[in-house]
Amino acid sequence: MKALVIQHDHVSPTGPVGRRLEHHGFEITEFLVVPKESFKSPNVTVEFPNPDDFDLVVFLGAPWGAWDDGCIGNWLTPEIEMCRDLVTASKPVLGICFGGQLMARALGGTVAPGQHPEIGWTYIWSDDHDLLSNGPWFQFHYDRFTVPPGAKEIARNPVAPQAFTINRSMGVQFHPELDSAALKGWLDEGGWPSVEKDHQDGEIMLAQTEAEDAAGEARTYALIDAFLTKVAKLV
């Protein structure tokens, strides 16, 4: 089986999500949307791979908003169309953070800035613990989505909806792919001021994430196993 992973920036590795997909025999193709040299001016023109060549498409997170056509519309608009076509055709899609927001927007939900950001390890409230545990899961987002028509909300917290399923696809607000190495990359690429502005200590957050790596990986493995079996129906 083949999986296409859409990486929107140069500091978003697949982490334990990618490792678990490889465990299940997936050949992963990573496609970078915004190269490092365009990070400060991300409205690039992109020709996406043909998603029909893959059994699964994963849309990862991004530091930009899935509502912000003015900033990233050159590639956001065709990506939304691609996501909509895949999900409505019952082809498996996994949307993570920005990817979940993009999926919600593509299917008729909304995406907008939230009242305040979610940054760090948080618990969620899941309706289906066989598919998705309460966590904790790592969050790093400023926006929130509304669950699109026809989708089933399966998790939430007091800040925002956290996960939904529709057809053979799933969107989540948190970052199951996150490990301490990825967090260090995010912080070094401009994340330190964001954490400080949220009145948190980035060094402590990084140390906490290092301590959480093994348990977080296990939670992500369980999520990917259940997604592939119960939602995507690929294994």
Q: Which residues are catalytic?
A: 97, 175, 177
**Both ends of the chain: CA-CA distance in Å?**
10
Token pair recorded at residue 83: 């996501």
The residues that bridge with 94 in the sheet, in sequence order, are: 58, 170
